[in-house]
Amino acid sequence: MKSDVSKKTSAAKPRAPGPTRAGGECLCGAVAFEIGVPARWTWHDHSSAARRAHGAAYATYVGTWASRFRFLRGEDNLTRYEDPERGGTRSFCSTCGTPVLFQRNKQNVNVPRALFSTGVGREARYHIGIDQLQEWTYQGERLSPLKGFPGVVWNRKRKSAP
């Protein structure tokens, strides 16, 4: 028996094209940029260098090819720090201090994920420097609302049995 492929038609609607660019900016808005999406890679960096540069438990980066990155404003407002020990250059907004870029070479640009106001087309699934994870880092423990402080939660330690 011969199947008639021509009778089978797809009722699925064509997908609308997604965004082609993702943009972000520093805290004060003096520096703004955009990348082509999807981003090339994303990761969580638990290294001591990232922790100190961001003043946080870890930094989440979005990486792209330099050719897919551009400043919309404020490139001249960046202050750069070249790290001779670890290699790479970190760029910060000279007005508000926001970390904006991390580059190990001229071909790649890494931007903190928190600076983007839209999706970047990649999820952070990789962890670098996990051996440097700090014991005080939140790791998904159960949190409870703190009475009298709307929007604040805490890790209420359960009393252990005597």
Report H helices in the chain: 48-54
What is the DSSP-derived secondary structure letter of residue 15?
A: P
3-state secondary structure of 91: strand
Could you tell me which residues are beta bridge partners of residue 60?
44
Q: DSSP of 41-64, one letter per residue?
A: EEEEE-SHHHHHHHTSS-EEEEEE
- pTM for the model stands at 0.79
CA-to-CA distance for 108 and 26, rounded, in angstroms? 20
Those residues with Cβ within 8 angstroms of residue 53's Cβ, 6 or more apart along the chain or in another chain: 59, 90, 99, 102
Counted residue by residue, the chain has a size of 162
Does the structure show a pLDDT above 90 at 101?
Answer: yes
Q: Where are the domains of the chain?
A: 21-132
In degrees and rounded to multiples of 5, residue 26 shows phi and psi of -80, 180
**pLDDT tens digits for 13-66?**
666 666 799 999 999 999 999 999 999 999 999 999 999 999 999 999 999 999
Contact between 8 and 28 under an 8 Å Cβ cutoff? The reply is no
Q: What per-residue confidence (pLDDT) applies to 160?
A: 60
The domain over range 21-132 is classified in CATH as 3.40.50.1000: no
Does the structure show a pLDDT above 70 at 6?
Answer: no
Q: What per-residue confidence (pLDDT) applies to 162?
A: 58
**pLDDT tens digits for 125-159?**
999 999 998 888 888 888 889 999 999 998 877 66
Task: Give residue for tokens 């402080």.
Answer: 149
